[in-house]
Chains A and B, each alone.
Chain A
Amino acid sequence: MATLNVVSICGSLRKGSFNAMVQRLLPSLAPDGMSIKPAPSFADFPLYNADIQNSTGFPAPVNTLADAIRAADGVIFCTPEYNFSIPGGLKNAIDWVSRLQNQPFAGKPVALQSAAPGPVGGARVQYDLRKAMMFLDAFTLNKPEIFIGSFASKFDEKTGELKDETTRGLLKQQLAAFATFIARVAAKS
């Protein structure tokens, strides 16, 4: 079976990010035949401004991220929720790549995960991300949904180790479902 090459994008930049801990865990939970690698960073993107695009063109890190998305069989977002919605930095990255010819999210299978200290686990950010992905013609996996609430009770915050078996099971289930989904929606050769 051909390997599925998936990239993961973390919505938080801080070192101690819970969502980055989830992101790092994914390769070990992926089904056989799926490799999951972190995407290049959006930390150095300028804030989107069409004048930049029209004068000096797309910044190099934008093209780097876009290429990684294009080359991937699927994209997984691991993101916190900032102010009931998508972190501005992540949305800014999406805004930039959305302006490229050969827009990288078009036809791309996407899966969503979010982790949070509170009980809701990022429900609001995922529905907002779904909307943006819909506009960009991505295929977003519906279920299983991954909302990791009360993070501290499920992960060791220092080591990033996952302690909760239910969460482990759900993550494995989603990644397996994602593999099936990718195969289902891929363009027929």
Chain B
Amino acid sequence: MADRQLDVLVICGSLRKGSYNAALARTLPALAPAGMKLRPAPPFETFPIYNFDIQNSSGFPADVNTWADAIRSADGVIIVSPEYNWSIPGGLKNAIDWVSRMKEQPFKDKPVARMQYHLRQSLTSVDVILFGRPEVIVTFAPQKFDEKTLELKDETAIGMIKQQLAEFEKFIRRVSPKE
């Protein structure tokens, strides 16, 4: 693990095209340290609303399995998400609910960093190894992203993100199972 480049998955909690959180997620690969390569997660948009009867009859939907596999195969996960009604967007929570029901629960012992406050609670429930600080919370997004290209312009935010990603790389290496 010492020399290997880390493979980190990025999950975005918003579905809309013009999402600031999606823009932030797209920014991350360029700001990541050399020892870490970031890739976007497969979509969760088409997951049905969680219903145990579906799980029990036709099993886990294909796209749920795809999402779970992507998490399992990653060395770490970064979740970038807005807050809806002072909490986690229902769609993202629904995706976490689905994979939390799997036998080989993909988030267990997975190093996870969040760029969103409230996820802490549910991520604790699925047994992640949660990266705490520095936290990245980008406020007043419209002022910090270019209106047309949605490119992140704010130097302070960029600095903070670079720092968080560098710390997250160290964190993943530290908490991953020793080979």
Interface residues of A (CB under 8 A from B): 12-16, 42-43, 45, 47-51, 82-95, 98, 124, 128, 131-132, 134-136
Contact = CB atoms under 8 A, between A and B. Distances in A.
A92 B52 CA distance: 17
B91 A47 contact: yes
Given A14-B51, A88-B96, A48 B90 contact: yes
Contacts of A92: 49, 89-91, 93-94
Contact of B87 (A15, A43, A86): A86
Given A15-B53, A85-B121, A91-B84, 4 more contacts: A13-B51, A14-B52, A47-B90, A134-B86
A131 B94 contact: no
Nearest to A88: B94
Most central of A50, A85, A86 by chain B CB within 10 Å: A85
Q: 10 shortest A-B CB distances, which residue pairs? A: A88-B94, A92-B90, A47-B91, A91-B90, A88-B93, A89-B49, A49-B15, A83-B125, A13-B51, A84-B125
Nearest to A82: B97
Interface of B: 15-18, 44-45, 47, 49-53, 84-97, 100, 121-122, 124-126
25 contacts: A13-B49, A13-B50, A14-B53, A16-B52, A47-B45, A47-B94, A48-B90, A50-B16, A82-B50, A85-B93, A86-B88, A86-B93, A88-B88, A89-B49, A89-B51, A91-B93, A92-B49, A92-B90, A92-B91, A93-B90, A94-B85, A95-B85, A128-B87, A128-B121, A136-B85
Contact of A83 (B15, B89, B122): B122
A84 B126 CA distance: 9
Contacts of A14: 51-53
Contacts of A132: 85-87
A7 B93 CA distance: 25
Contact of B121 (A84, A134, A135): A84
B93 A87 contact: yes
B49 A88 contact: yes
Nearest to B99: A83
B42 to A, nearest CB: 14
A100 to B, nearest CB: 13
Given A13-B49, A13-B53, A83-B122, A135 B86 contact: yes
B107 to A, nearest CB: 9
Given A47-B45, A48-B15, A84-B125, A91 B87 contact: yes
Contacts of A47: 15, 44-45, 47, 90-91, 94
Nearest to B124: A84
A82 to B, nearest CB: 5
A61 to B, nearest CB: 11
Contacts of B121: 84-85, 124, 128
A48 B124 contact: no
Contact of B100 (A50, A82, A86, A89): A82
A95 B16 contact: no
Contact of A88 (B18, B90, B126): B90
Nearest to A134: B86
A10 B17 CA distance: 31
Contacts of B125: 83-85
A124 B88 CA distance: 14
Contacts of A50: 15-16
